[in-house]
Each structure stands twice: as C-alpha cells, then as structure tokens.
Amino acid sequence: MAPVHGEVQTVMGTPICELACFVPWTEGGFHDEVLYGSGMGLDGSPLMVTRCPPALCRGPDGTPWLVGQGQIMRTQGRDGAEFVSVAAADIDGVADMAPIVPMEDGGVVLTGRKGDDNILARLSRSGDLIWRKVWGPRAAAEVHLLGEREGAVYLYAPGEQGGRVASVSVQDGAGMTALSLQGRVAERMWMMQGRVFWVEYADRQSRWVSRDLDTGLAHAVSAAAPLDVLLGTAVAALPDGGALLAVPENAELIWLSAAGYELHRMTIAGLVRTADGLAIAQRKGEDIRVCRWGNGEIVASYQLVAPGPTTMLMDAEEDRYYFRDSQTIFAVNARGERVGDAVPFDMAQQRWQRLGRVDVCKTIAGPDGALLLAGADSAGAFVVRVKS
C-alpha cells in the first residue's frame, strides 16, 4: 500500500460529503438493530454479520427524519432529535412504515395497515391525531406515500389492472385521483418537482418513465448498456429527471441522466464517523481512496494501492484507520502506511462490533440534488449528506 500526498484540499471527482446529524441509541428511542450469524467468537458471543440503519425521509426544510422500529425521529441540528409518537394513528406494522411525509408544522402524514384496511393518518407535532382515513377497498395492496405538493399529500395505490396516483388534502384527508395508470403495475414510484417516476418493464426492456402531474405529458427513456440491466435498482428520482441507482452488493450509487447515461458513480468501501466528521473509503478501479471530511471539506486523504476485493474501511481513530480484508483486520496510519500485523476477525471482536454501515438502498434525493444516506454504528444512527 502506498500513500498519496499533496491532495488534502480537493480530490477530483469526489462528491462533497458531510455528517448531517447523529442520533445516539437510547432505551426509550432508537436502539441498535444487529443481525448475527451462526458462528461464535472466542468469548462465546455470536458473531455480528451486519447492522441495520433506520429508514430516511426529508422534511420540507431539508431536515432529515429517521423512521423505524415503530418510531419516528425528527432530527434537530447535527446532534439532536425529537421523538414523534405514532400511538394515536392506531395502525399495525408501524415498524415497517416508510416513507412518511413530514409537514411544515412539525407533524407528519403516515400510512399503515389495520387488518385488511389501508389507514392514512395525520399527526400533529406532539403526536395528536388530526384525522384518520381508511384508504381504498378492503384487502387492497399497500399504498405508498410519495410526498407533499401544494397543500396535498400524494400517494401511489397499486391495483390489479394498473394503479393510480391520488392527492389527499392535508387539511381533512379528502382525496381525489390525480393520475391513472393502465397495464402492468409499477412496484415503486417516486415524486420530484411535479412529476412522478417509475420503472416500466415491456418487451424485455426496462424504461425510466415520468408523467407530469399538471399536464399529463409522459416521457420514457431506456438506459444505455450496461446500465439497462440495473434500472430496476432505482431508489430515487433526481431533479433533472434522471434516476439514482443503488447496487447493494457493491455499496454503489449511480447517477443516471434523464437521457439514460451515467453521470457519476460512487462505490463506498466503508464509511465511518470520526471525532471531527467522517472517513469515507471509495473504490476507484483497483484502488481505494480514503478521505477524511470535516465541515464539508477534505482534511486528509490517501490511497491504498491494489487492495483486496473485499477490503473495507470499518473503524477510524485519531491517527489510525482499520480495514477488514477477507478474514483479517489491519491498520494503517494517517499517511496510508500499514501499521502492525493483521489480526483474525475472532481476535478482534470488540473492534468488529463497532463496525458502521450505510444502506445505499435507503438513499433519498432532495430537490437541490443532494443525497441523504442513512447509517448506523455501535453508538447510534447517523445521516450523511452527499452532493455530487
């Protein structure tokens, strides 16, 4: 491994990254959600496989909201959060609810199930019920909230013969159909700047389709090869009409233009919180670039030359970075030089248990083009803002 010097201020092609907020695990709030394997460590404890970050939503002012484990957290600045009770909604399956639609008054619109019914409800900032509606016919498919626009919340309701997009008044929950879709049902749908987007499969091809909610005008594009086979991994619509693709196997994000061509690509080989911000490892070809970020600026960077295909950044201290590679953990210093000997996983369980993770499939995009990524480590949940 060889360090690269003289690239502290800028690294060409590297998206700007910053820690947007951090919410510590607490007994009455979010708690660490960890998946364990069948193996056991030397101390007899089960071996951790991965941890699960909460889902993300974006408030009207850009504030991140965290959703999961039957709870909603409205973040406040970089290190604060406020719990929003959902008890008054009286719905089942709250642990899986996402997305929600945050309101400007600090309240929220959410959906869930009660028996065979889809329930749509609006709660105040303090968690009081403002209105509650049964949406659609009994035993209908689950509805999906898309976002707020001009005083209405939009949702997508799949159906056997197609689907429909409906607008629901935030004042009283009264709804009306805004758009009807015929033919094959879209699995997911997104809304961005007055248009709805979805992936359509026809004639053995996938297309990125949009429809203007005001004019009804439609647009469809096929992604250029080889991205055409990845179009089904879309997780968000982008402000320019393109799509954000997420490949979880590689922790990879791909920005797709409205014309179907790749704009940017970010392959995350590890992302961890540090004392002053973030440390992010990005795979660039056969190498890994590690950047340390503070207040939206790169304060240090180096490059690992020809690392293994499974090499991942897993922890960071003041002057040490810890990586996993195959079945070992090794350390490098702030110049990218290897320090000490590699240690097997089962000899470094304490450090392995602190492993942080971001879930690229839970990434959301804002109207300014910035992305929000949800992450989690042993201390709490966090959100990273990425601007390409």
**142-178: pLDDT as tens digits:** 889 999 999 999 999 887 677 889 999 999 999 999 9
99: tokens are 């997305």
pLDDT value at position 9? 32
Could you tell me the pTM of the whole model?
0.89
Residues 6 or more apart from 96 whose CB is under 8 A from it?
none
Rounded Cα distance between 84 and 61, Å, is 17
Give the chain's domains with CATH numbers: 16-269+355-387 (2.120.10.30)
pLDDT value at position 269? 93
Report residue 1's pLDDT band, with 50, 70 and 90 as the boundaries. very low
Rounded Cα distance between 81 and 104, Å, is 16
Q: C-alpha distances in angstroms, 360 versus 154, 279, 293, 365?
A: 24, 17, 19, 12
Full DSSP string of 182-247: ESSPPS--EEETTEEEEEEEETTEEEEEEEETTT--EEEEPPPTTGGGGGGGEEEE-TTS-EEEEE
Q: Considering the chain, what percentage of its residues have pLDDT values greater than 70?
A: 90
Report residue 205's pLDDT band, with 50, 70 and 90 as the boundaries. confident
| pLDDT tens-digit map of 291-328 | 999 888 898 888 887 788 888 898 888 788 889 887 78
| pLDDT tens-digit map of 96-110 | 555 799 998 889 999
pLDDT value at position 5? 29
Rounded Cα distance between 110 and 66, Å, is 13
Rounded Cα distance between 364 and 130, Å, is 27
325: tokens are 């590679």
Report residue 51's pLDDT band, with 50, 70 and 90 as the boundaries. confident
Report residue 223's pLDDT band, with 50, 70 and 90 as the boundaries. confident
| pLDDT tens-digit map of 180-197 | 888 777 888 999 999 999
Q: Are 131 and 169 spatial neighbours (Cβ–Cβ below 8 Å)?
A: no
